[in-house]
Amino acid sequence: MTDLKKAALQIFHETLAAIDIPATMGRKLSREGSHISANGATLDLTSFERICAVAIGKASVAMTCGLTELLSATCQAGGIVVAPSFAKNVPPGFRSIVAGHPVPNEGSFAAGRAILDFLATTNERTLIFFLISGGGSALVEQPLDPGVSLADMQELNRLLVTCGASIDEMNAVRKHLSAVKGGRLAAAASAAMKITLAITDVPDGRESALASGPTLPDPTTVSDACIVVERYGLLTKFPASIRARFEDPETIPETPKAGHPAFRHSVFQLLLRRDDLFHPAHHAAEAAGFVTVCDNTTDDWPIERAADFLLAQLAELKRANPGRRAAIIADGEVSSPVTGKGVGGRNLAFVLRCVEKIAGERIAVLSAGTDGIDGSSPAAGAVADGETLLRANALGLDPADYFWRSDSYTFFQKLGDTIETGPTGNNLRDLRILLAE
């Protein structure tokens, strides 16, 4: 493995190690005696008869542990934790549900039913902590229309993630068919005091997209959802139960908007966001001797455009700093329509698209998800350098062929260049590291 590839991997792993969810929760939420403060609001815990939590997402277990540490043994909380895999360290008093990701499964439906039933028992003397992180859209689901089956929702998910739609476009459709998305969990506990603590894997200012915004006002409308369906030619591909709704959109209930009573007793605070990913990555790159620039321009861009732009930024940074090693750190999601039946994800696909572009150059490219899982693969992502194409050719591997078959994982697995961390229990954003010397 070349020095640049090793350096890219070291920067990635140091960045992951720097993200400590329980410590962040203790740092960003102040607790003095029975009083706790979140985003400018201070609450007296003793004024509530019941304190509980609903944790949804890939970081749900770590967030629940952080909350219970913050509340301490003098204030016991219970509730529901929904995660993509079994965890032994779920605190006592919490029901743990393992659900599907990236595709909802029976566990996702069970989690949706359990949470709605749980919230139905709350009242104005209840304080609920909603602990939200990425992946919640698939992990927790329950259709508004009981005639929509799990198989129907799974097909909807498949169509949305493979049609090339952005996360906002996908959410506009999903929110209007779901009993748990787009502010509807807040509506299900309208009388209770609600504190939502979030770790975001979506762009700043678009927090309602995180886990499809279960506790936030929904800025999208039924009309927006219909535009997405038309734009990507989805109507005739939908299962009959969902197609019937969009053929008669007046039958689709609108989601709760700003000003809805559900949000009257509600506080929202981000615990971790883009800067909490950029800062440790920037520090790790500079500590390794790279002049470093962080760039968030390419969020939601198509892979080809994002790769060309970031590589051009790297070349420009290198020219401006002769004799220095250069690094571009980027985050966010790139758009990667699925065109084949292989195994992969947007991070693996991004690196694969760069293989021919950097051939023969003293450049390394890494792209990986901070959750440890990329798309349908078991890897977080991959790393490549200027020698990758030569090594691939020696094994008879054609990067373009693997890209169009959406089989990026197999390509890099054969080369030994996948990044396999397993689930990290975190989920900020995808991280891309481009190095040159």
Name all domains of the chain by residue range, CATH numbers in brackets. Answer: 20-272 (3.40.50.10180), 275-436 (3.40.1480.10)
| 39 compared with 315, residue with greater pLDDT | 315
* DSSP result, 2-50: -HHHHHHHHHHHHHHHH--HHHHHHHHSEEETTEEEETTEEEEGGG-SE
- Rounded Cα gap, residues 336 and 384, in angstroms: 18
d(CA 408, CA 342): 8
Residue 207 DSSP symbol:
G
Residue 8 has pLDDT above 70, yes or no: yes
pLDDT attached to residue 161? 85
Mean local confidence (pLDDT), 364-381: 93
Q: Summarize pLDDT for 280-307 with one digit per residue, the tens.
A: 999 999 999 999 999 989 988 999 999 9
The predicted model gives 326-348 an average pLDDT of 91
- pLDDT for 91-132, tens place per residue? 999 999 999 988 899 999 999 999 999 999 999 999 999 999
Whether 1 shows a pLDDT value over 60: the answer reads: no
Per-residue pLDDT, averaged over 309-335, amounts to: 95
Over range 148-159, report the average pLDDT.
95
Note the pLDDT tens digit of each residue in 192-246.
Answer: 999 999 987 666 677 888 889 999 999 999 999 999 999 999 999 999 999 999 9
- Biggest distance spanned by C-alpha atoms of the chain: 69
pTM: 0.82
- Residue 152, C-beta contacts closer than 8 angstroms, at least 6 positions apart: 143, 239, 241, 242
Taking the C-alpha atoms of residue 156 and residue 242, their distance in angstroms, rounded to an integer, is 8
